[in-house]
Structure 1
């Protein structure tokens, strides 16, 4: 869909941005409601106190709800790379999909093509770095699952939107599986890596509930074939590969 055909549907759910805080993040969501119309109605309902800058329908139509120079209310309690007010520094894009509660399903190609066009435009205008293009579950792993494991992050990265790790088969290190209840230096190294990527995690060397949630969020983004919160060898290899890519681009 051509960006010039974006439809303006103003939502009252916003406030002013702090002009000293740059827009340096892009956050993808799924709507998680039965229909796109229901989602837009809620995002425009003053009582709901939620919103996003854009909504992309399954047929590729794009709706603009909040001006980009305003702070939309899409991320909630969240964290990324030391920042807690993600709404203050981000653009939020809601992608229509029923989500895990109402029948999660693949995102149509026409919808993803519109997402790519919109995201590329936003990224170019705000110079958003690849490491700051994330999902709601990345910034709120204890609360959120969206946009979920069916969202093709690799496809977006190949179009210049976000990052994807290199060939993990080239990594010389093998790993033992780590899971909830384990402790030690390998767990601490995993926590340090996830923290450097951007996740909120206390590096205490203990594999508890919080680390399980963060590993699950990482898997939804970078290892969608397995989303169980267990750091098996391939998940760990991908974590360190993403970290390497983050460092390369920093």
Structure 2
């Protein structure tokens, strides 16, 4: 896919999604887990890659010296500034930018994080390389995203490309480990949580190319789990349980 066209696609999609994104309550799940994993403290300077509406950035800002959030969608950064104001946080900088070519010096940050961004990247290897480059020696690089066994990735990606046309591909567990290895990380650690979203809530915040086909695909997966999101039905309402993997490593 052409990079320029893909980036335009992302901006278009997330400009539409901006106001609804933060409203999904489960997008704030497990933030304390990220703080704990990174041992975030007031001596840390943090970079949040593809920071979106600032949920992760603002959480880290409560615990650290300073956080920089970079994203290519102005609408998302506008939402991030609203969240910053809500929490009365002063130690944040927001920047429009391309995460494949980060505008920062080597060894600039002690924590470099990306949450829910990697499935949108055409070149995740380049992005992770850039994250490693700007991270200080012995700093922490942490990537959070949906990740599934290899056997479920194809169907999951089919579903997500319908739901969000800027979705490139979720990476399998195997692919994520290979990615970290290729970039040069030695000891990669993992953690996990499940993010529960109601189907109606998800559809209201999305702009699928074929909403009927998307809903049918998800409903048909109850008790089957070909999609890898353990769809359940409770009182005629459907729930998706996204498997969120956390990959983190010290920069060696």
**Structure 2 length-normalised TM:** 0.29
Name the TM-score, length of structure 1 as normaliser. 0.29
More strand by percentage: 2
